[in-house]
Amino acid sequence: MYLGVEIGGTKLQAGVCDARGRVKRIVRLPVVRQAGRAGILRQLQMVIPDLLTGVRAIGVGFGGPVDVETGRVVKSHQVAGWSGFELKKWFRREFGLPVVVENDSNCAGLAEARLGAGKGKRRVLYFNVGTGIGGALVLDGEIYNGRFGAMELGHTWVEGRRLEEVVSGLAIERGVSTVSEAARYVGVAVANAVTLLNPEVVVVGGGVARAGAKFYRPLRATVRRFVLPVFRGNFRIAPAKLGENVVVVGAAVLAKDL
């Protein structure tokens, strides 16, 4: 068994998964942002020990860029106190098991590529529209990572604005954009990414993306308008299949790969 942990901007999840990525037990807690990093670490100390029976390794999906080689957090854009924190060392010290730390969107993309909407495809582009916006590129079943992180679609620029500022769930809650407007902004970013990467499938996850046709219709229309024309028939846009557990499953898959 393998433990997958999601440390996000609005929620924490810890789930025990079998070798096939099936979730056997899961715990979810809301993140109290005002408590910062220390508050989240206390929550993890409370819930994880009860999940460790039979667990061989831990995978952690963190909501922000991380240095995968060292397991050090580069930055969180939602919760204070994480910059430079040695998250992998903390987990190993607290729980005494092998640990791997990755960006949460990379975990989600890996899960969808191996087990979900991108299963069987060699080149899978994943993005999520939730509290923030993240992305992942999975090639032949492996996460593509730059020097530390890659595919940060939320920090690309569309019409002179950073995408996450106008499209994330938080931006929509503040009235910066509506769901259909958000879909068009995302469509421009996805068209650019497809033009650069030419994937077989673009998998869409996250809470905002579960809005249905009012999101997907303008998204697909915008991508078709702006993508390189010769690539239009090369790929499909598919909703994510693994739902709220996707980061947990991807993190557990990484733990199994250790």
Per domain, the residue ranges of the chain are: 2-103, 107-244
Residue 208 has pLDDT above 80, yes or no: no
Phi, psi angles (nearest 5°) of residue 57: -160, 160
- Region 29-35: mean pLDDT is 91
Cα–Cα dist 132/100, whole Å: 22
| CA distances (Å), origin 173, targets 29, 130, 168, 169 | 21, 11, 9, 6
DSSP assignment, residue 208? G
Q: Tens of pLDDT along 37-74? A: 999 999 999 999 999 999 999 999 999 889 999 999 99
Residue type, 201: V
CATH homologous superfamily of 107-244:
ATPase, nucleotide binding domain (3.30.420.40)
| CA distances (Å), origin 57, targets 2, 27, 119 | 5, 17, 24
Whether domain 2-103 has CATH 3.30.420.40: yes
The chain-wide mean pLDDT, for the chain, equals 93
Same fold, 2-103 and 107-244: yes
Q: Degrees (nearest 5) of the Cα angle 73, 77, 83? A: 30
Q: Tens of pLDDT along 102-127? A: 999 999 999 999 999 999 999 999 99
